[in-house]
Amino acid sequence: MVELMHRSAHPGRSGRFGNHVSGPILAISALISVSCMVLLSGCGGSPPRRTPTAQPAALLEARGALEQGEIVRARHIFSSLESPERPLSLRGMARIGLGRCAIAEGDLDGAIRHLGVARKLLPSGSQHARVRLYLGEAQLRSGAINSGLNQLETAYPALLEADDRSRAAFLITRTLDQLGDAVPALYRTAAGHHSYPEYSSIWQRTRPAPPTVVAVPPAPPVVPPVQKRPTHPRLKIHQRNSWNARPVRTSSVVPMSRPTRITIHHTADQPAIAALGIREPKAYLRRIQDYCTGSLKWGDIGYHYLISSDGRIWEGRPLKYQGAHAGNNSLNRGNIGIALIGNFDEDRPSSSQVKSLGSLLSALTSVHGIGSNRIYGHQDLRDTGCPGTHLQAVLSRLVSKLNRISTARKTR
Ligand SMILES: [Zn+2]
């Protein structure tokens, strides 16, 4: 469960932690304290039960109207409660109501806008968790599956009303089932035998539309170009024993679900360890593993692969275990983590590194059947500067290239 608890291998460089940490460095205590907060709220233990605070009659009336399907009346009351002279918490709850009205009417952009305001007005507590619940629903409906799961899993432990909790658990369970991913027993149990037919449309449209058939004139015969090198160059990956990795602490990792995406990071190390990463990758990897398993008490290093500036590819956490690199359990699920050693806000990745990254991505997408549209820079998934401006730019080019290659293969 530790991986579920300690959700992030490293914080984003420009995220709220301020630095992109992988080494034994200053921001560790901040990282640990934040991770532990996530631990307390996210490990699925029972949070202390508090009674929901009494709410003004008008708010309850509006919620009743909404549940009866009287959207216009509900919106009218919620809007009247949203005026600036009202207390912030009431305005926040009114915005939640307006967001729910928008969801009910299929206006997902409007819903996300109202709920974004609500989130600022209700910065913490159970009402903040309710914002996340509905934001999660709106994101699932708009197809942002990972973001939606992320909101719902964060909301779940802080929700006080039984109905809110079973709704969150139901949404998480059904979505993970749809993805073919493992469902934590906690959610399966909480979802129980509840049925929410109003959600069914969320999962109906996940099947891709059949391709449009377009009449294409027959192409002239193409003479295949002479192969200058094998299509799949042999990829050399330096196994864990090459850097004397210590064994994975299996009690502290969770099995990897089917890999469906890949996320690229930079290590952006503090000066004390940055030079080691370039000079002595093996010693560097051992230091990082010691830090992750010692200070952070994780089961292993967080990334599945690391690439040093000489272009060597190193095996990190074995792929049979879920990584700890993207930010939380939802983001890490089925997500292969690759880190390039270096700081690519400051430097450019070396040509050997870029070449190895391209080969690794090509091999991983081909072996696991992952589409090139499912390769992300860390900043594509969450608020962070990782993997640095230079690497993010390189990554865009690599992904376009992979895209062209796979399109060419399909049309051949
Ligand atoms: Zn990152």
How many A from CA of 381 to the centre of ligand 1? 9
How many A from CA of 363 to the centre of ligand 1? 21
How many A from CA of 408 to the centre of ligand 1? 31
Band of residue 133 on the pLDDT scale cut at 50, 70, 90: very high
N- to C-terminal Cα distance for the chain? 46
CA distances, 114 to each of 35, 78, 120 (Å): 29, 11, 10
Mean pLDDT, residues 63-82 taken together: 89
The confidence score (pLDDT) of residue 43 equals 26
How many A from CA of 384 to the centre of ligand 1? 7
The domains located in the chain, with CATH, are 57-204 (1.25.40.10), 227-411 (3.40.80.10)
The confidence score (pLDDT) of residue 105 equals 87
> Percent of the chain, pLDDT > 70?
79
Band of residue 215 on the pLDDT scale cut at 50, 70, 90: low
Amino acid at 224: P
Mean pLDDT, residues 392-410 taken together: 88
The confidence score (pLDDT) of residue 75 equals 92
Report the side by side order of strands in the sheet with 237-238. Answer: 237-238, 313-315, 305-307, 335-340, 261-266, 375-377
How many A from CA of 403 to the centre of ligand 1? 23
Is the pLDDT reported for residue 206 higher than 90?
A: no
The owner of tokens 């509905």 is: 134
Using CA atoms, how far apart are residues 263 and 395, in angstroms rounded to an integer?
A: 10
Band of residue 351 on the pLDDT scale cut at 50, 70, 90: very high
Is the pLDDT reported for residue 364 higher than 90?
A: yes
Contact present, 118 and 83 (Cβ < 8 Å):
no
The confidence score (pLDDT) of residue 253 equals 95
Q: In this structure, how many other beta carbons lie within 10 angstroms of the beta carbon of residue 333?
A: 25
Note the pLDDT tens digit of each residue in 315-324.
999 999 999 9
How many A from CA of 9 to the centre of ligand 1? 8
Query: Strand ranges (DSSP E) for 156-242?
Result: 237-238
Residue 42: burial class (beta carbons within 10 Å; 0-12, 13-18, 19+): buried
Q: What is the mean pLDDT of the chain?
A: 80
Largest Cα separation within the chain, whole Å, is: 78
Mean pLDDT, residues 187-215 taken together: 71
Is the pLDDT reported for residue 123 higher than 90?
A: no
Closest CA to 101 of 75, 64, 127: 75
Q: Which residue has the higher pLDDT, 330 or 411?
A: 330
Band of residue 18 on the pLDDT scale cut at 50, 70, 90: very low
The confidence score (pLDDT) of residue 335 equals 96
Mean pLDDT, residues 24-47 taken together: 30
Mean pLDDT, residues 253-258 taken together: 94
How many A from CA of 351 to the centre of ligand 1? 20
Band of residue 186 on the pLDDT scale cut at 50, 70, 90: confident
Ligand 1 is an ion; its neighbours by CB within 5 Å are: 265, 378, 386
Mean pLDDT, residues 127-144 taken together: 88
Note the pLDDT tens digit of each residue in 290-333.
999 999 999 999 999 999 999 999 999 999 999 999 999 889 99
